Structure 1
Amino acid sequence: MLRRVCAALILSLPLLSACEGGGREIDTEIRTINYECADGTRLQVKYGKPESGPSMAMLTFDNKLVPMHQEPAASGVLFVADKGHPNYRWHTKGHSGMLSLRANGEREFEVVLRDCESVQHGSTGESRS
């Protein structure tokens, strides 16, 4: 539960204190990237990279705020939803991304948003870890 609360806060505040206990402050770079997908859907994703730990992403889809953490990927960057929304995956490569969703009880993920291109090409959600 603490991880979910910290993930939500870390992506909404540039400086967060108390998540690691002891009142320490954690510097976090936060970038907001707007995407336009093939079907015309617009998606905003906030990316955060704390001093230590994996990169995080926060997106809103289908009226749900979905906190995500970075997982290893064969190519590009893969973000997997945290507890509470375990069936979402956001995969970026370069300036594009796709959102996949797995129906409850299903094994396979279905792409629900594809060919999502970043509107501002000055920065991406990719991190070097």
Structure 2
Amino acid sequence: MRLISLLALLAAPAPALADDVIPALTATYVCAGGAVLRVAYLNPSPDDSLAVVDYGGRLIPMRAGPTGSGVRYVAFDPVPGFVWHGKGPDGTLFTDGENGQRAILEDCHQVGS
């Protein structure tokens, strides 16, 4: 429910003259096995990109980090170290721990517009 509140806030129309509105969008992904993942993307500046992932009843704030292709978002909280790697309309959710990355939601494909 917390993500629904966040998504409603992000989807609300911005005031016509507001210069401080953060460009944002939301996306829903269907992953292997039918799991649904919701992500809110926030771009407060040209140099900063954030995402909030709704997974397992938790909202996980993330910051864009370096990657070879696509966009790799890394959780602010290093434990358990969630990573959302998106490329175009596709993505994978990982945990990144002592034993390396482990995919927890694979073959995620964005649905809708």
Shift of 1:78: 0.4
Unaligned runs of 5+ in 1: 1-8, 16-24, 123-129
Q: TM-score, normalised by structure 2?
A: 0.77
Cα distance in 1 between the residues matched to 2:77 and 2:47? 17
Where has structure 1 moved over 6 Å in runs of 4 or more? none
Match among 51, 54, 58 for residue 57 of structure 1 = 51
Partner of 1:117: 109
Question: Residues 26-85 of structure 1: CA distance to partner in whole angstroms, max 9, x if unpaired?
Answer: 321110000000110001100010135410000111122100000111011100000365
Preserved CA contact (<8 Å) 1:89 1:101? yes
Question: Residues 85-115 of structure 1: CA distance to partner in whole angstroms, max 9, x if unpaired?
Answer: 5510000111100000135xx2311000001
Aligned length: 102
Amino acid at match of 1:95: P
State the identity %: 34
Q: CA RMSD in A?
A: 2.5
Point out the structure with the larger helix share.
2
Q: TM-score, normalised by structure 1?
A: 0.68
